[in-house]
């Protein structure tokens, strides 16, 4: 546990909840943005971890009604924190990301993300009098959280995996075998050229998968104001976004390499090593996780203190940013009832 922390606090005004951002050291030369959202009560700490592309503010704390999972959990009595893993958002950007993307090794793979999560968990525990911390990860964030829990379950009150991969051999049309992420010269290997060491995303690509999932159902499933704020926050997360046309933000590609391997049946971590309680939630219309990921995860969680698997009808990959009836309300209820008080 890191006992000596150099913490810089910045008060940020939000419509419903005040936020306090801390600079938390991780590896040498790496500083993480850990933000507390809402009132600090000193109880029920929970750390929210983003996924492969969009950092924590866009993922969990949009300044519009219905766009902040962090604020809604704070209203339920949690002490809520969000983390930007290195390479994302307000955390340290790697030196390689200051140059144009290359076909070199993908940056920030799971072992690196796990190191950052550990630094953030230790910081939250220190700020919470040594209490155990709940860990909620969305998509790749859930994959990172699961891997982290195999190493550090005693620090955790619960793990929540939202729309995350675990292990599966069935075809994955988005990121599995036969997709652009597979190296055609080396079947079963990740195609470095498809993503590079890092990638840039513009507004259109940020909404693309979400729009395709919802189709003509967009406005009934999500508030247009939330979608607009999501894109703006993603672009604003990168101080260099205005240096490119169209405006775009950077994200490391290590999460995509690890997800490719999980999608093709590789076992990157073993859930039998987890002893903390596990809640896994997936949307019926999620394009990322598959039913077999949930099935295999449940089968392997033989030592978890508690296991709950939830599949939300008609919900998508972005269910926590959609309207309450589309799974968002159920998600909040499930987390509130599962995480110990």
What's the chain's Rg over C-alpha atoms?
18
Q: DSSP letters of 50-102?
A: --SSS-HHHHH--SSTT--HHHHHHHTT-EEEEEE-TTSTTSPPPGGGGS---
In this prediction, residues 275-282 reach a mean pLDDT of: 98
Given a contact cutoff of 8 angstroms between Cβ atoms, the answer to whether 303 and 273 are in contact is yes
Task: Mark 115-129 as b/e (b = at least 16 C-beta within 10 Å).
Answer: bbbbbbbbbbbbbbe
The whole-chain average pLDDT of the chain stands at 94
Task: Mark 233-259 as b/e (b = at least 16 C-beta within 10 Å).
Answer: bbbbbbeebeeeeebbbbbbbbbbbbb
Q: Where are the beta strands (DSSP E) in the chain?
A: 10-12, 19-25, 31-37, 45-49, 79-84, 133-138, 156-162, 198-202, 248-252, 278-283, 307-312
Q: Per-residue pLDDT for 152 more than 80?
A: yes
- The SS3 assignment for 46 reads strand
CB neighbours of 159 closer than 8 A, spacing ≥ 6?
A: 134, 135, 136, 137, 145, 146, 149, 274, 276, 277, 278, 279
- Residue 17 is predicted with a pLDDT of 63
Alpha-carbon span 48 to 269, nearest angstrom: 20
Question: 241 is written with which tokens?
Answer: 């976004």
pLDDT digits (tens, 9 = 90+) for 183-229: 999 999 999 999 999 999 999 999 999 999 999 999 999 999 999 99
In this prediction, residues 224-244 reach a mean pLDDT of: 98
**How many helices (H) does the chain have, and how many strands (E)?**
11, 11
Alpha-carbon span 224 to 219, nearest angstrom: 6
- Residue 169 is predicted with a pLDDT of 86
- Strand-pair partners of 33: 23, 84
pLDDT digits (tens, 9 = 90+) for 77-132: 999 999 999 999 999 999 999 999 999 999 999 999 999 999 999 999 999 999 99
Alpha-carbon span 129 to 148, nearest angstrom: 21
At residue 317, φ and ψ (nearest 5 deg) are -60, -30
Q: Per-residue pLDDT for 6 more than 90?
A: no
Question: 16 is written with which tokens?
Answer: 């419903």
What is the pTM (predicted TM-score) of this model?
A: 0.95
């Amino acid at each position: 546990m890191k006992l000596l922390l150099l913490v810089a606090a910045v008060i940020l005004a939000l419509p419903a909840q005040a936020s306090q951002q801390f600079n938390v050291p991780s590896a040498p030369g790496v500083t993480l943005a850990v933000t507390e959202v809402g009132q600090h009560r000193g109880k029920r700490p929970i750390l929210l971890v983003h996924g492969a592309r969009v950092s924590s503010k866009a993922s969990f704390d949009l300044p519009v009604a219905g766009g902040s999972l962090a604020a809604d959990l704070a209203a339920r009595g949690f002490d809520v924190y969000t983390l930007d893993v290195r390479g994302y958002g307000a955390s340290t950007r790697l030196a390689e990301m200051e140059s144009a993307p290359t076909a070199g090794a993908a940056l920030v793979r799971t072992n690196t993300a796990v190191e950052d999560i550990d630094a953030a968990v230790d910081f939250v525990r220190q700020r919470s009098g040594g209490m155990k911390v709940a860990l909620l990860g969305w998509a790749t964030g859930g994959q990172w959280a699961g891997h982290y829990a195999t190493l550090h379950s005693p620090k955790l009150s619960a793990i929540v995996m939202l729309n995350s991969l675990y292990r599966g051999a069935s075809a994955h049309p988005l990121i599995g075998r036969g997709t652009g992420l597979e190296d055609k010269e080396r079947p079963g290997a990740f195609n470095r050229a498809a993503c590079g060491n890092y990638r840039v995303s513009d507004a259109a690509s940020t909404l693309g998968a979400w729009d395709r999932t919802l189709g003509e159902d967009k406005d009934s499933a999500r508030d247009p104001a939330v979608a607009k704020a999501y894109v703006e926050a993603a672009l604003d997360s990168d101080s260099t976004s205005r240096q490119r046309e169209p405006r775009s933000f950077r994200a490391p590609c290590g999460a995509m390499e690890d997800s490719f391997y999980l999608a093709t049946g590789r076992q990157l971590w073993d859930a039998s090593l987890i002893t903390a309680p596990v809640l896994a939630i997936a949307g019926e219309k999620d394009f990322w996780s598959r039913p077999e990921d949930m099935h295999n995860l449940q089968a392997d969680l033989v030592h978890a203190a508690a296991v709950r698997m939830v599949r939300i009808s008609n919900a998508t990959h972005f269910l926590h940013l959609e309207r309450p009836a589309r799974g968002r309300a159920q998600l909040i209820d499930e987390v509130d009832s599962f995480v110990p008080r």
